Amino acid sequence: MKAASHLLILITLLAWSITGLADGASEVKKLLDERPHLCAVVQKYPSVVRWLTDAFDGKFSRSKITFRNDTALRTPFGEHSYDNNGAFVLISREASAVDQVAILIYECVSVQHQDRWNELWAAGASGVIDREQFVIRALEIEHKVALETQKVLRGYFELDRDDLVNAPLYNRILEVRPEFDPALMDYEPNRAARDYYQSVYGTLRKKKQSNEAPTRYRRPAFEPSPWEKAVETRNPTDAKLFTRLGRSVKYLRLKAVSRRWSWSGDCWTKCR
């Protein structure tokens, strides 16, 4: 039964890829190949496959989104970040199958707020806002993402009663209130989100301060000297010139030392 449902999903994704959704469909296929236990979920709720395909294809955000099956997460549920190829999302293996799909939807929605995240990161790095302000603004963005995720869950991934029992994170997202109050945030009891963003702020400030710290320039050991550059470029004129300059400087230094010092007995004494 599972093999048949997986095959049906792959056939559907293949049909969508032919119609021009190759990138998004291929990411959903990769997701199901690496997390086969999710096949039963998306087979039961096929509309979520279409939404994820569009999300991966960049229909709702500025860039396409890819799925990574990495296990190293800085948060307990999921996260997203960016590289040269655009945005990518990671989700925890510890959550139930339906919650993993909910986390994936949440992170894809969060990617849509890339500009707000970038502005917050820049403000934190420059020190324009303090640590507490940074955390509050981050939680405010998370709150907005949760409200938008609610709409997606109700429209494309509305679980029945049997699945709701095994979806604590799904239920938690649906229970987020419309109004944002930092003192009553749902993240407050376990402080996981606050602790995470406090550490992010500290990292941003340290990185910014280290880049701004005044340092005396020293030529790296691997940087060739002017004479070496002339030899490497096979420029004999420049090589001879630097050689002559080097010899002249060495001669002048020896001559200056000989004038300042004279031999007296068995030791050097300074001339007065």
Alpha helix positions (H), 165-191: 168-174
Q: Is residue 28 part of a domain?
A: no
pLDDT band at 64 (very low <50, low <70, confident <90, very high): very high
Predicted pLDDT at 123: 95
Structure tokens at 129: 């806002």
pLDDT at position 234: 53
Give a yes or no: residue 196 inside a domain: yes
Residue 36: inside a domain: no
Give me the helices (H) in the chain, please: 2-18, 22-34, 39-44, 47-56, 97-111, 114-126, 131-156, 161-164, 168-174, 192-212, 226-232, 236-260
Q: Helix or strand or coil: residue 261?
A: strand
Verify that 119 and 232 share a domain, yes or no. Answer: no
Torsion sign, CA atoms 24, 30, 36, 38: negative
Highest mean pLDDT among 110-124, 215-229, 250-264: 110-124
Q: What tokens were used for 175?
A: 């229970």
Q: What confidence tier does 233 reach under pLDDT thresholds 50, 70, 90?
A: low
In a shared domain, residues 199 and 244: no
122 and 180 share a domain?
Answer: yes
Q: Which of 159, 176, 211 corresponds to the end of one domain? A: 211
In a domain, 58, yes or no: no
* pLDDT category of residue 35 using cuts at 50, 70 and 90: very high
Q: What's the CA gap between 104 and 254, in Å, rounded?
A: 73
Structural domain including 232 reads: 223-255
Tell me, yes or no, whether 107 and 227 share the same domain.
Answer: no
Residues 117, 198: one domain? yes
Q: Indicate if 74 and 176 belong to the same structural domain.
A: yes
Query: Is 7 a member of any domain?
Result: no
* 156 plus 232 within the same structural domain: no
Number of domains forming the structure of the chain? 2
Answer yes or no: is 25 within a domain: no
Same domain as 153, residue 95: yes
Q: Which of 159, 186, 211 is the last residue of a domain?
A: 211
Residue 4 falls inside a structural domain: no
Q: pLDDT category, 193, cuts 50, 70, 90?
A: confident
Side chain identity at residue 62, one-letter code: R
Q: Say yes or no: 112 and 235 in one domain.
A: no
User: Residue 233 to residues 195, 204, 265: CA-CA distances in angstroms?
Assistant: 55, 42, 51
The reported pLDDT for the residue numbered 212 is 59
Tokens describing residue 252: 């002048």
Question: Does one domain contain both 80 and 152?
Answer: yes
Same domain for 68 and 149: yes
135 domain-assigned: yes
Residues 84 and 173 in one domain: yes
CA 128, distance to chain mean position in Å, is 22
122-142 pLDDT, tens per residue? 999 999 999 999 999 999 999
